[in-house]
Amino acid sequence: MSLLTRRRLLRRAALSATAAGAARTGLAGATAAGLAASASALGACDSPPERESDAERNGTLRFPPGFGWGAATSAYQIEGAAKEDGRGESVWDTFSRTPGRTANGDTGDVAADHYHRYAQDLDLMRELGLRSYRFSISWPRIQADGSGRPNQRGLDFYRRLLDGLHEREIAPMATLFHWDLPQALQDDGGWENRDTAERFADYADAVFRALGEQVPVWLTINEPKTVVQNGYLTGHHAPGHQDEAAAYLVAHHLQLAHGLAVQALRASGVPGRIGPALNLHPCYPADDSTEAAAATTLYDGYENRLYLDSIFKGAYPRDVLADLGPDSRMARAVRDGDLKIISSPVDLLAVQYYTPLYVTGSGDTVRRWPTSQADWQQIYPQGMYDILTRVTRDYGRVPITITENGLPCPDAPGPDGTVDDAGRVTFLRDHFTVAHKAITDGVPLESYHVWSLLDNFEWNEGYEQRWGLIYVDYPTQRRIFKRSAHWYRDVIRRNGL
């Protein structure tokens, strides 16, 4: 592995170690003109002054008719009911129960108790006016050990959820895998084992056949890159490995699993659309040097092209392969025909945008904009515009949905019981504004899902970071619409700002 790659990995490990309770930095750059300026130098969550954009004042920023305003969640982060109705163990059960892995030793055992409260949550979605709801299906609820006959009680839960969505005229968008790999498969090598990709296709096939009539849009694997980087490089996500060689082998098998699932949907005759869910990071040089430009190109390869070129061009990027070396575990694992499977035509691309990256000549990353409570997140709405337009330019006019974008804050109810997350309103307003501009400039963006519908279990951060539009009081499981939820309901009603 190249020096550059090594440096960036070490840097990431150092960053993630300081993630909990990260300081909110106010950088001089935040005073620059433009949308990014609204990320207050006091910290994105601190209440900015009351501010309405011109568009909002004049009601001029309308989205296309039928635009899919939505919100997103994932199974392990909200469902709880970890041991009910035949659900098996996942890698996240194992990981979160291992001392020292998550903030405060938090687990998803109860989470937002959505498994029991889904009907109430559906009513909240209706109250919010959602047109689209993106959620994930828990593999270990469907196949406790990751293979074999599907568990009827697990399928029934999702059937009830889907019925409830249709009754409320909310379009479902179902992710097949949001990181909760059955532990039994991990015991057999997890994503390092090629067979896991085949198991995934079987699981997907079972889900398509059982639920296909009710699901118009499927997403295959949520953020394969995060499994690679957090699960296998830094180790601060399940399964908690730090193994550079394994990481990119895992990248290949995750993408193979994606392609096999696309093929399984087509073979099943089930009519839904399907695509990948990728977290894309626009990469910029940190300075004007030629070294920074070169390092940024390679960085972009690892962050974006490794997952986009394979699916949309049927080839892994040459610079990344060269950097990994011809004898890497990944290079040796790619078989004839694999890229053909991975590049099976998809119907849409789901983009998850949180942050830009600024790369120095030595392959380090530096911060340019204020961060949020998640210290890996720099608040830079323009980055969303840049990545959306770039994807459309480089990969063609494939329909795009934003399946995640949001801000974590240490929200708490005030004395009057309301939750005033003004910073989240500002954040969303600025991102919606650039999304609208991207549409105007030709990006076929059809929907936008805020992360997240509800406060939930934020992986290794446990319950310390609240990302929801709706506050969850965990001891009582009471739900409270935050100010951002009230604001978002108006946006949806108006179909714009």
Q: Is 404 a catalytic residue?
A: yes
- Min dist. Cβ of residue 381 to ligand FCB (A): 17
77 is in an annotated binding site: yes
From 69, 121, 276, 94, select the one nearest 181 (Cα to Cα). Answer: 94
- Min dist. Cβ of residue 2 to ligand FCB (A): 26
- Min dist. Cβ of residue 226 to ligand FCB (A): 5
Supply the Cα-derived Rg of the chain in whole angstroms. Answer: 21
Secondary structure letter of residue 378 according to DSSP: B
458 is in an annotated binding site: yes
Strand 365-366 versus strand 357-359 pairing type: antiparallel
- Min dist. Cβ of residue 377 to ligand FCB (A): 8
- Give the nearer residue to ligand FCB in terms of CB position, either 351 or 497: 351
Is the distance from CB of 484 to CB of 425 less than 8 angstroms?
yes
Rounded Cα gap, residues 122 and 454, in angstroms? 12
For residue 30, how many C-alpha atoms fall within 13 Å in the half-sphere facing its CB? 18
Helix (H, G, I), strand (E, B) or coil at 146: coil
For residue 67, how many C-alpha atoms fall within 13 Å in the half-sphere facing its CB? 22
Place of tokens 């959602």: 130
- Min dist. Cβ of residue 458 to ligand FCB (A): 6
Binding site for ligand FCB (CB under 6 A): 74, 77, 222-223, 226, 279, 404, 451, 458-459, 467
φ and ψ of 46, to 5 deg: -65, 140
- Give the nearer residue to ligand FCB in terms of CB position, either 353 or 369: 353
- Give the nearer residue to ligand FCB in terms of CB position, either 278 or 485: 278
Choose the catalytic residue: 79, 89, 192, 223. 223
- Min dist. Cβ of residue 354 to ligand FCB (A): 7
Choose the catalytic residue: 56, 89, 404, 446. 404
Helix (H, G, I), strand (E, B) or coil at 445: strand
- Min dist. Cβ of residue 135 to ligand FCB (A): 11
Is the distance from CB of 186 to CB of 91 less than 8 angstroms?
yes
φ and ψ of 54, to 5 deg: -55, -40
- Give the nearer residue to ligand FCB in terms of CB position, either 142 or 374: 374
- Give the nearer residue to ligand FCB in terms of CB position, either 295 or 348: 348
178 is in an annotated binding site: yes
495 is in an annotated binding site: no
From 478, 328, 363, select the one nearest 8 (Cα to Cα). Answer: 363
The DSSP-derived string for 235-267 is --STT----HHHHHHHHHHHHHHHHHHHHHHHH
Place of tokens 């969505």: 165
Span between the terminal Cα atoms of the chain, in Å: 47
- Give the nearer residue to ligand FCB in terms of CB position, either 210 or 227: 227
Residue type, 8: R
- Give the nearer residue to ligand FCB in terms of CB position, either 316 or 467: 467
Secondary structure letter of residue 287 according to DSSP: S
Q: Is 291 a catalytic residue?
A: no
Binding residues: 77, 178, 222, 354, 451, 458-459
Binding residues for substrate: 77, 178, 222, 354, 451, 458-459
Show which residues are catalytic. Answer: 223, 404
